[in-house]
Structure 1
Amino acid sequence: MYRRPTGRSARLRRLTTLAVGVTAAVTLTACGGGSDEDAKDNDAPARSKEAARQGLVTKQAAEKVVDTYEQVNNRANAKRDEKLLGTVEAGQLHEQSKADYTQWKTWSKKDQKEYASSFHYTNREYLIPAADSGVTWFAVKTRASADPDGEGALLVFDKEGGDTYRMTMAVYADEGPIPEVAVDEQGFVTPADPSKKVGALAPDRLGEAYEDFFETGGKEKAARTFASTDTSRTSVKISKEGPDDDVKAYATKKFFAAQPAHPKVYALRLADGKTLTVFPTAHTNELMLKPRYMSGFDITPTEEESLYDGTKRDVVTDEFQGQGLAVLDPAGKPRVTALEYRMVDSR
């Protein structure tokens, strides 16, 4: 999949993605060790347990998954084939991609053409944990050919709901390149425990804490908890925008934190001792008529909202599912450096 901002409405400008699909799921196998004969060659000493460690997958197997995903993505985008997409995509990413398929008809011709254009992943760096790490996923640092000047992306492939790997998260960096991940002597990355606090927060608390930027502009806790970044400042700006001009005199707009559709969090140790995290997050956006206007007026849903519920009503509630990228510092505040949402429902 490839996602970068497009020219759609200001509220969704930073919340846009292009969905993907793959024709067939690919089962990965762990790296195999040497044969018994290899062990006997030259009377080599018995290998230590550490030396015999295997990767969760081989680099070749991981490469095959990404290749297949990339190739078929271009066909799936052209057809908006949700069934095809679901064979190799899951998690929070899949929620967003399904929304793109639903809302595609409301996009401009330019956006539709861009969405359906072929691309491929370049400069791939496979981040593979050891088989004994206790996790079921691997990641890839890469960039999309359609965005050669971008900062790159972090893709996560996990065995969610089956025996095959599907892409569950994909976040494109907005504020500098993806940081260098720590690797051991055998080239394996080290996953971090999402429930273990790193500095101010544990990785699995990021989404819940961050939503305060939308609910209160960060005034309750978020401004004190998180380092100020371009991403957090944009969230505050969105929180303060209020209703569009055509309804501003008649309605109020509020945000409320919500549960991510898929709560799994992914975390990796960085070379500098910090922790890189891809996390899910969610909120609802409520546009409500002021009490004195409820008896005589209704809110007309936008074209995108009408795809889910075209009824004119006193309150329009939009649900947004998101995913973000953050760096947690044991000696400082967490930095959220990328964040993308999709409206997945309106009621």
Structure 2
Amino acid sequence: MPRSTTPPPHRRRLSLLALGATTALALTACGGGEEGGTDTPTRSEDAAPKALITEQAAKKVVDTYELTNNRANAKRDAKLLSTVEWAQVHEQSKADYKQWETWPEKEQKEYTAPFSYENREYLIPSADSGATWFAVKARSSEDPKGEGALIVFDKVGGTFKVTMAVYADDAPIPEIAVDKNGLVSPADPSARVGSLAPDQLGAVYEDFFETGGKKKAADAFVSTKTSKGSIDVYRDGPDDDVKKFATEKYFAKDPAHPKVYALKLANGGTLALFPTAHTQELMLKPRYMSSFDITPTEEEGLYDSSKRDVVTDEFQGQGLAVLDPKGKPRVTAVEYRMVDSR
């Protein structure tokens, strides 16, 4: 999935029946990836450690991803895309395909235009590391001057597929630790690095949406542009015209695909890609429930067009964080997609 040119995540315009009041919330965007082979090099007993996959084979995986992804995007073919993409990023791609018809023509053209990953840096672990995945640091041809993305290719049913892809919005992707053989070292997602473990990031981060970070997130993370943006979503709530009639709340949710990926950094820290999710609930205040209904937005109506007292949207996301062994983690990017509305 190429990065969407505008952030669909909390792009909601909800109207009260007979009132015409609207509200809009915007958040993030999303990135993509695809398939390939499983070719690995051989070595003698005295040779360097064997890599999980050769760089030549990894290049073929990424090339196949680009080709298949571009073909799938042109037709919004989720089945074709599933041959090279899975997990959180595929949840987001499917949402893009479903909601594509509601986008402005300019966005549709940009999304379906062919793209490629440039300036690739292959991050490959050893075959005996226990990892089933490798990563690629690259820039999209859509944004060649941007900070770039980190894309994970994991084994799914014996085939390498993109399972996570996050663009580094806040800061450059830090230097990954590479040994003398050019191999990277995966980190244990359940091992604490400083104040949190990589697999704890998503659940704690969602507190920014639920409480504005007041319960735990504000104290758990270093403040970043990304985290401030999430707090703004919590604070903004519905538009002023809607606030009189409805409340808006967020609730943390288990990600559709919980696997976390982590790599050791050259400075001793850890870089983590983590899944995250929440629901967003717009509910009429009790005194208005007998008189009004909420009319879903065009995007929401694709899932459930009925007018109702409560509109609940589900968002599946991905995040990028740097964990400091001597301090708090910094979340430098989060990308969400609305994947359901009911």
Q: Which TM-score tier does this pair reach, normalised by the shorter chain? A: over 0.9
Q: Is the 8 A contact 2:31 2:167 kept in 1?
A: no
* Deviation, structure 1 residue 245: 3.7
Per-residue CA distance 1:74-98 (angstroms, 9 max, x = gap): 2211100011001110010000000
Rg (Cα) greater in structure: 1
4+ aligned runs moved over 6 Å, structure 1: none
Per-residue CA distance 1:235-293 (angstroms, 9 max, x = gap): 00001111134422110000000000000000000000000000000000000000101
Asked if residue 319 in structure 1 is aligned to residue 314 in structure 2, the reply is yes
* Deviation, structure 1 residue 295: 1.2
User: In structure 1, what is the Cα distance between the partners aligned to 2:325 and 2:140?
Assistant: 32
Per-residue CA distance 1:126-181 (angstroms, 9 max, x = gap): 00000000010000000011101210100000013x00000000000012211110
> For 1:165, which of 160, 185, 204 is the aligned residue?
160
> For 1:101, which of 97, 101, 113 is the aligned residue?
97
Unpaired segments of 5 or more residues in structure 1?
Answer: 35-45
> For 2:38, which of 25, 28, 35 is the aligned residue?
28
* Deviation, structure 1 residue 118: 1.3
Per-residue CA distance 1:294-331 (angstroms, 9 max, x = gap): 11111111111000001111111000000000000010
Higher relative CO (Cα under 8 Å, sequence separation at least 6) belongs to 2
May I ask how many residue pairs the two structures share in their alignment?
A: 329
In structure 2, the residue matched to 1:37 is none
Q: 1:297 to 1:19 in 2, by over 3 A?
A: farther
CA RMSD of aligned residues (A): 1.6
User: In structure 2, what is the Cα distance between the partners aligned to 1:274 and 1:107?
Assistant: 40
Map 1:234-313 → 2, pairs under 5 A: 234-313=229-308
* Deviation, structure 1 residue 113: 0.7
Q: Is the 8 A contact 2:32 2:165 kept in 1?
A: no
User: In structure 2, what is the Cα distance between the partners aligned to 1:13 and 1:108?
Assistant: 16
Percent identical: 67
Unpaired segments of 5 or more residues in structure 2?
Answer: 13-23
In structure 1, the residue matched to 2:135 is 139
* Deviation, structure 1 residue 27: 2.7
Per-residue CA distance 1:200-222 (angstroms, 9 max, x = gap): 10000000000000000000111
Q: Is the 8 A contact 2:322 2:329 kept in 1?
A: yes
- Of 136-145 and 11-20, deviating more is 11-20
Q: Quick one: which amino acid aligns to residue 2 of structure 1?
A: P
Q: Is the 8 A contact 2:208 2:231 kept in 1?
A: yes
Q: 1:4 to 1:174 in 2, by over 3 A?
A: farther
Q: Quick one: which amino acid aligns to residue 97 of structure 2?
A: Y
Q: 1:236 to 1:5 in 2, by over 3 A?
A: farther
Q: Is the 8 A contact 2:189 2:262 kept in 1?
A: yes
Q: 1:180 to 1:18 in 2, by over 3 A?
A: closer
SS at 1:159 equivalent: strand
* Deviation, structure 1 residue 53: 1.5
- Of 65-74 and 78-87, deviating more is 65-74
Q: Is the 8 A contact 2:135 2:153 kept in 1?
A: yes
Q: Is the 8 A contact 2:7 2:29 kept in 1?
A: no
Map 1:137-216 → 2, pairs under 5 A: 137-160=133-156, 162-216=157-211
Q: Quick one: which amino acid aligns to residue 37 of structure 2?
A: T
* Deviation, structure 1 residue 52: 4.0
Asked if residue 14 in structure 1 is aligned to residue 27 in structure 2, the reply is yes
Asked if residue 344 in structure 1 is aligned to residue 335 in structure 2, the reply is no
User: In structure 2, what is the Cα distance between the partners aligned to 1:19 and 1:103?
Assistant: 17
Q: 1:18 to 1:152 in 2, by over 3 A?
A: closer
Map 1:30-109 → 2, pairs under 5 A: 30-33=40-43, 47=46, 51-109=47-105
In structure 2, the residue matched to 1:112 is 108
